[in-house]
Chains A and B, each alone.
Chain A
Amino acid sequence: MFYREAGQYKTSYAADMAVFPLRQDRIGLGIIIAAAYALAFTKNDFLLQAVMIPFLIFSLAAIGLNLLTGYAGLLSLGTGGFMGVGAYACYKLMTAFPEVNVLVWILTSGFFAAGIGVLFGLPSLRIKGFYLAVATLAAQFFLQWAFNRVPWLVNYNVSGAIEAPLRTLFGVPIVGPNATPEVRYLVVLTLVIFLTWIASNIVRGRVGREWMAIRDMDIAAELMGIKLLNTKLLAFAASSYYCGVAGAMLVFLWYGGAEYTVFDINQSFFTLFMIIIGGLGSLIGSFFGAALIFIMPIGLGMLLPALLAPFGLSIGSETIEHLRFLIVGALIIFFLIVEPHGLARLWQIGKQKLRVWPFPY
């Protein structure tokens, strides 16, 4: 009734090819973005610092992996390592050239990750599927080893950790302990919206279509004239770029410091689960997946004691932790059974139902 395209006529090719052809979608997106910016003014530090900032950063990393795995069909377990490359590159750059704005370095550090990604993407020309996953696993282990064993990367810091020095934008601190969560949230949100917009254009354009052609059948794609070498390596480069930027943001806009264990294999799995549950080959799915994997456990941690309190039950923090694991695990299985194509597909079905509501046929 409310969500229907009746009466919206397209009078130009541009209108017909728009990312959001429905007026309601455009309004909805505008409201979501406005609401996201409005959150910065709630002054709720916990919400911003512990929930929204990491959620957006993990979403960006999930978008990065989705470009590679969801769109180009190349399975990778090196996400954590590529994120680390971005973080350490950013650290080296911002300490070597402190006069350049940190945002420039955060966006530049992605190119270093892209370079490393291309290097470790070379085997993808000969191997596919699980075998490629193992090859990228090597990248993960090697990079993690390098972060730990190459003291040059941490500027010979005794503790082996990288720390975020104070950096400002227009005189307001955005990196370092003095940066307020509100400011950092606004920076993260803007970067994530900007990069998501770029990604949505990449995947709808020629490059994205080439990736999808390779994903669906690489021999057919080759026969159509798509160069496998260039396209696959481009997928690795784009994916690693996004992961690298996410890694740099993770350290400098969220943690404020990190040791190499932040970028371990668990981070890779974490991101892979996000895109599998959110939906392979879907940008919005990356956000859904990050929300389900990251925000839901936090929500449960707050909800469970509140639910049990009226019954006079008080449970220890470790029991909550165990319950969180149980419930999140069960919900993942539930969602995958209900919709194997991920939450993004569920979202699509929901929208379809909404179109014909209240008179379904």
Chain B
Amino acid sequence: MSFRKLKLGAAAAVLIGATAIPALAQDSIYVPLLTYRTGPFAGSGIPIADGMHDYLRMLNERDGGIGGVKLNIEECETGYDTKKGVECYESIKGKNPAVVNPYSTGITLQLIPKAAVDKIPLLSMAYGLSPSADGNVFPWIFNPPVTYWDGASVFIKYAAEKEGGMDKLKGKKIALLHLDAPYGKEPIPLLEALSKELGFQLILYPVAAQDMQNQGAIWLNVRRDRPDWIYLQGWGAMNPTAVKEAVRNGFPIGKMVGVWWSGGDDDARAGGDQAKGYKSLDFHAVGTDFGVIKDVQKHVIDKGLSKYPKEKVGDNLYNRGIYNSMLVGEAIRTAQQITGKKAVNGEDVRKGLEALNITEARLKELGMEGFAAPVKVSCEDHNGHRKVFVAEWDGTKWVKASDWIEPMKDKVRPLIEAGAKDYAEKNTGWPKRSESCAKSS
């Protein structure tokens, strides 16, 4: 290699070093989105990323932002990789973000201790650490509208209802088919507690991340054990594989219920016609029959401002992205009301999230009537433990198959408080809550 090439390389290195971070506009609210459109989980990540982006973009196009302040939306690609997620967080931290959506349980776990130090609220919508719903220990972390423990309790309630009552669950076999990672293991403590109380037998089928698409051995065990119900807590390629295997092994598909992250349209589609009847929990509706989706179509999709294919708008995971951004938007709006400021920062939005109260009337204003249940967050309860329903795959789309079911809050809440206490004890030096409790004005 000649000396000249070396010099060229050195020049390039200097250039990289000199690239400055672009200056920030002061009169806007910076909303970073940590998304993943690449990597093994891209199939689930793309609809969510587009949903989140399109709703916020729609606010910009239709209303000129929130309260007259434009939103500065920026995506950072994580590839569902914790390393890259932390790198993303570091790169956005200095730009005064209003709220951070990590969109991965692994990244959330990394960011939980940092949030209080950097004064940036963390919104992990229905994922992340279940005990972080305790606002007294985790003032900066929010995970509305439900936790995994609520989800599991709703599943048990649903199964009991189908069996004919809680007492009928005694002696039944209920299996948890889960990804062998923190995310998948989340519902175990609650299911164990319920199995003792209700007398059903809990069987665990862990699926290692590298075996997501190779579940043959596990399903042999399923055939041997013959569980009455299966609760599926999977993500990415694990879900369609589980649905396919259930069909192949003749497991009654109607008795397999997935958590909300196992309810992608493509997850169910993989099982073909026989996947009809596969169920999944959900906390928002699918389809385009809502004012808010119509507005997104009118202001964003039809103008070509979105990357999402037109015909797939209204998919389950796309609508979940919309729901996530709705929470972000409402938190910012509430923060503006409380503080009277226009360009709110992280500390203001934290107050906004704590005072978040999305009523039936507000949902109607948002064009979300029937789209989701009302959400109310308080200083102690950062989750809400809202109602969930069971959706059923009819072969082409998800349809609502049950009423809104209330989680067993009386069972879940003590576990959450114990978990939060435990977390604070293990992390010596965990700060006591010093943030005052703001009331909605």
Interface residues of A (CB under 8 A from B): 45-46, 49-50, 54, 95, 98, 145, 148-149, 155, 157-161, 163-166, 173, 176-178, 255-262, 264, 298-300, 302-303, 306, 316-318, 320-322, 338-339, 346, 349-350, 353, 357
The interface centre, meaning the residue of B37, B116, B131 with most chain A CB atoms within 10 A of its CB, is B37
Interface residues of B (CB under 8 A from A): 1, 3, 5-6, 13, 15-17, 19, 21, 35, 37-38, 74-77, 79, 82-83, 86-87, 90-91, 93-94, 106, 109-110, 112-114, 116-117, 129-131, 180-182, 185-186, 188-189, 208-209, 307, 419, 422-423, 426-430
Could you tell me the distance in whole angstroms from the C-beta of A55 to the nearest C-beta in chain B? 12
The reply to whether A45 and B90 form a contact with Cβ atoms under 8 Å apart is: yes
Could you tell me the distance in whole angstroms from the C-beta of B48 to the nearest C-beta in chain A? 13
Where chain A touches its partner, the secondary structure class is helix
Q: How many interface contacts (CB-CB < 8 Å) are there between A and B?
A: 134
A161 and B188 alpha carbons, distance in the complex (Å)? 15
The reply to whether A163 and B427 form a contact with Cβ atoms under 8 Å apart is: yes
Of B106, B114, B209, which one neighbours A256 at CB under 8 angstroms?
B114
Of A255, A262, A303, which one neighbours B15 at CB under 8 angstroms?
A303
Instruction: Known pairs A45-B93, A321-B38; list 18 more (Cβ under 8 Å).
Output: A45-B90, A50-B87, A149-B180, A155-B426, A158-B131, A158-B185, A158-B419, A177-B113, A177-B116, A255-B86, A259-B181, A303-B16, A306-B19, A317-B74, A318-B77, A320-B77, A322-B38, A338-B1
A81 and B83 alpha carbons, distance in the complex (Å)? 17
Give the nearest-CB partner of A259 in chain B: B182
Across-interface contacts of A160 in B (CB, < 8 A) = 181-182, 185
Across-interface contacts of B130 in A (CB, < 8 A) = 158
A357 and B3 alpha carbons, distance in the complex (Å)? 10
The interface centre, meaning the residue of A54, A158, A163 with most chain B CB atoms within 10 A of its CB, is A158
Could you tell me the distance in whole angstroms from the C-beta of B204 to the nearest C-beta in chain A? 11
Could you tell me the distance in whole angstroms from the C-beta of B304 to the nearest C-beta in chain A? 14
The interface centre, meaning the residue of A46, A166, A262, A317 with most chain B CB atoms within 10 A of its CB, is A317
Could you tell me the distance in whole angstroms from the C-beta of A46 to the nearest C-beta in chain B? 5
Could you tell me the distance in whole angstroms from the C-beta of B235 to the nearest C-beta in chain A? 13
Give the nearest-CB partner of B131 in chain A: A158
A98 and B429 alpha carbons, distance in the complex (Å)? 12
Of B77, B94, B117, B186, which one neighbours A317 at CB under 8 angstroms?
B77
The reply to whether B109 and A318 form a contact with Cβ atoms under 8 Å apart is: no
Of B6, B21, B428, which one neighbours A165 at CB under 8 angstroms?
B428
A320 and B430 alpha carbons, distance in the complex (Å)? 38
